[in-house]
Amino acid sequence: MADLILSAERHSELAELLDDEQRLQAEYPKVAEYLDMAVRLSGTGDVRADHAFDLRFIHYMTGGDDVSEDPYWEIVGPSVSGNEGRRLVNGGKPEGSPRLAFAQIILQAVYAYAVPSPETVQWISRFCDGGPVVELGAGRGYWAKQLARAGVIVNAYDSEPPDRAQNASFRRSAGQADVWHPVEDLEGFTARVSERPTDTVLFLCWPPGWGASMASSALASFEALGGERLVFVGQSKGGQTGDDAFFDRLAANWTLESVDRDHVSWWNSVDVAQAWVRA
């Protein structure tokens, strides 16, 4: 991806914003938080690349839909490099950097835990083959937004829609969208799947791990409704996503059909994108 080039007008807008610390804190507290901490943290060692990342971060985090409908990828895409056959957001360094790790925390809270690269979005679209998607645990609906932009019919659900409930993982913050795509509570899930159970795709993106049963419960419900197609983005069994019962159910009842080899992960939390069908 080419270096970001700002128009003279946009350059002036950002300069004015950054010169007014009180306004920056009030209107874009996440950007202010990052800039305050970034100067204290070491970067990748490539000063030019680190400055370019900071510029993208500021521009897309404060620009809204006027500058991009996919700000997450615009920010992290140029920081992706290959390492042992994987595409990683690491700033060109296998070990990443403390500054990038701090940016990661903010970006995951503002957008999504996993990175929806354009290649992965298209891979999911091909797997769906015109069928609808239901996403459970959708958070802010950022993945749902990108899938919808790609022409996929998608309904997003979460037990705590961030625009209507207190969601510990996706808290409200000035200057950032509560949701990127309509996110409904769980009541509509059963009815939606029941309309087209065999060609509806269940999408689970970073379902909670550490013993939480959300992933296995969602898969069991989907199976009971006649669902036959699943996309999972997360870590392997024993990682931060999904419970053991979820992976055991996959192994017993499902067949792995496809793996996205172009999927992009953060360097320090490598995940996978997999498409499954009922055995």
For residue range 95-127, what is the model confidence (pLDDT) as tens digits? 999 999 999 999 999 999 999 999 999 999 999
Q: Which domain holds residue 240?
A: 118-278
Between 89-98, 206-215, 223-232, the lowest mean confidence (pLDDT) is in 206-215
**Which tens digits make up the pLDDT trace of 224-258?**
999 999 999 999 998 999 999 999 999 999 999 99
* % of the chain surpassing 70 pLDDT: 99
Q: Evaluate if residue 23 carries a pLDDT over 70.
A: yes
Looking at 78, 110, 142, the residue that finishes a domain is 110
The C-alpha atoms of residue 192 and residue 123 are separated, in whole angstroms, by 23
Mean pLDDT for the chain?
A: 95
- CA-to-CA distance for 20 and 53, rounded, in angstroms? 21
3 state SS of 66: helix
Per the CB < 8 A criterion, the answer to whether 29 and 86 are in contact is no
pLDDT 10s digits, 122-141? 999 999 999 999 999 999 99
Q: Residues 99, 148: one domain?
A: no
Q: Which two tokens stand for residue 219?
A: 């898969």
Q: Of the given ranges (50-54, 66-70, 108-112, 207-211), which has the lowest mean pLDDT?
A: 207-211
Provide the pLDDT for residue 3.
80
Q: Are residues 166 and 261 in the same domain?
A: yes
Q: Are residues 145 and 126 in the same domain?
A: yes
Cβ 21 vs Cβ 10: under 8 Å: no
Taking 3-state DSSP, the helix, strand and coil percentages for the chain, each rounded to the nearest 5, stand at: 45, 15, 40
Please check whether residue 184 lies inside any domain of the structure: yes
Sign of the dihedral defined by the CA atoms of residues 35, 39, 60, 159, in that order:
negative
Instruction: Work out the percent of the chain whose per-residue pLDDT is above 90.
Output: 91
Residues 93 and 151 in one domain: no
Same domain, 249 and 129: yes
Tell whether 95 and 122 lie within a shared domain. Answer: no
- How many C-beta atoms surround the C-beta of residue 217 within 10 A? 15
Do 252 and 271 meet the contact criterion of CB atoms below 8 Å apart?
no
Does the pLDDT at position 1 exceed 70?
A: no
- Which parts of the chain fold into alpha helices (H)? 8-19, 21-27, 29-38, 47-63, 71-76, 98-110, 118-128, 142-149, 189-195, 214-224, 244-253
- Whether 50 has a pLDDT exceeding 90, the answer reads yes
- Pair 93, 189 in one domain: no
Q: Rounded mean pLDDT of 166-173?
A: 93
Q: Does a structural domain hold residue 3?
A: no
Q: How confident is the model at residue 64 (pLDDT cuts 50, 70, 90)?
A: confident
| Residues 37 and 91 placed together within one structural domain of the fold | yes
* 2, pLDDT greater than 80: no
Q: Does residue 90 register a pLDDT over 70?
A: yes
Distance of alpha carbon 88 from its chain centroid, rounded?
Answer: 14
Q: What is the pLDDT of residue 100?
A: 97
Q: Are 46 and 122 found together in one domain?
A: no
Task: Give per-residue burial for 16-38: e unless 16+ CB within 10 Å, then b.
Answer: ebeeeeeebeeebebbbebbeeb
pLDDT at residue number 76: 98
Residue at which a domain ends, from 91, 110, 129: 110
Residue 233 sits in a domain whose CATH number is 3.40.50.150
Q: Is residue 1 part of a domain?
A: no
Write the CA distances from 243 to 192, 217, 235, 240, integer angstroms: 25, 10, 11, 9
